[in-house]
Amino acid sequence: MAKLYFYYASMNAGKSTTLLQADFNYRERGMATMLFTAAIDDRYAKGTITSRLDVSANATTFDPETDIAAIVAAAHAHEKVACVLVDEAQFLTSAQVDQLAHLADVVGIPVLAYGLRTDFQADLFPGSARLLALADSLVELKSVCECGRKATMNLRVDEQGRAVVAGAQTEIGGNDRYVALCRKHFVAARQASAAAGA
């Protein structure tokens, strides 16, 4: 039976690298896959999933209006799709996560979704919340805080490296805008920034 998997982590934990490795494993065995990534993520070339190890693959972009299930079903009718892999899954809508569950449950295609669990304020993204509710398997990928403990939080920083404590939930960025920290250092950095009036 096909399953819906949610691989979640903080920034810089290797989510895209892990996705690309899974895709390679399927393709090496002659199986077709479909890759999706968020259209809003403009850090690299549009329509590509790129890891920090400089490995990349082409992908179909999605935005809130994209019917992922319909795209996969159309492709599956021409060539059997062995697996669907979704990067930046935190940007999925709840309805799109339901579509992924449908692909696993009804169409019989395994779906591997990779994304952040929480935003820079430690709040769940809507897509991540729905994945946590529906996924058959939840897998935490590990990242490391500056202190050596497991990093679970995503600290947004300004140009001077100070914690940003307010703003829109989504702001695309990499190491220039986000730092993965353990909860203790995440809270301490936000408190220090708030106390300094930043």
Catalytic residues: 88
Spatial distance between the Cα atoms of 31 and 16, rounded to a whole number of angstroms: 20
Residue keyed to tokens 């009804």: 106
Spatial distance between the Cα atoms of 23 and 129, rounded to a whole number of angstroms: 25
Q: Are 117 and 132 spatial neighbours (Cβ–Cβ below 8 Å)?
A: yes
- Nearest 5 degrees, angle CA 95-CA 111-CA 177? 75
Residue keyed to tokens 């039976």: 1
Q: Indicate the SS3 state at residue 40.
A: coil
28 — phi, psi (to 5°)?
Answer: -60, -25
Q: What's the Cα-to-Cα distance from 155 to each of 19, 97, 120, 132, 160, rounded to whole Å?
A: 23, 26, 5, 21, 13
